[in-house]
Amino acid sequence: QALLTPEDAVLSDELNHASIIDGIRLCKANKYRYKHMDMQDLEAKLKEAQKHRLRLVATDGAFSMDGDIAPLREICQLAQKYDALVFIDECHATGFLGPNGRGTDELLGVMDKVTIINSTLGKALGGAAGEGVF
């Protein structure tokens, strides 16, 4: 809600965690939902969303219910092609994935292409660390 206006668009993987979905519902931006990890559908939605001022692709890095890892390389390539920002929720990846535990963006080599990283820091790093956006 604090990031996007009614002039903007958010494109969300249909299997994103409920907390992401709730945040998107509160947001005034135009909402697009793409099929789970379907890059052809994401590209079609990005084409539709070109009329909006900003476009933000939102995805879990690691999907907790089935263990899928988001295809971040492809997401970042499409975001670059369509001038979109990338948001990843790393709550289920921080401390677990990547050579240094930084998450899926480190694992897949796209740390410099992701705009916003969200993580609770409470799964692998202990419950007392709280929540953070990097």
**Catalytic residue IDs:** 64, 92, 123
Residue 70, both tokens: 């988001």
126 and 95 in contact (C-beta within 8 Å)? no
CA dihedral 107, 116, 36, 20 (to 10 degrees): 130
90 and 117 in contact (C-beta within 8 Å)? yes
19 DSSP assignment: H
Radius of gyration, CA atoms only, the chain: 14
Report residue 128 CA to chain centroid gap. 24
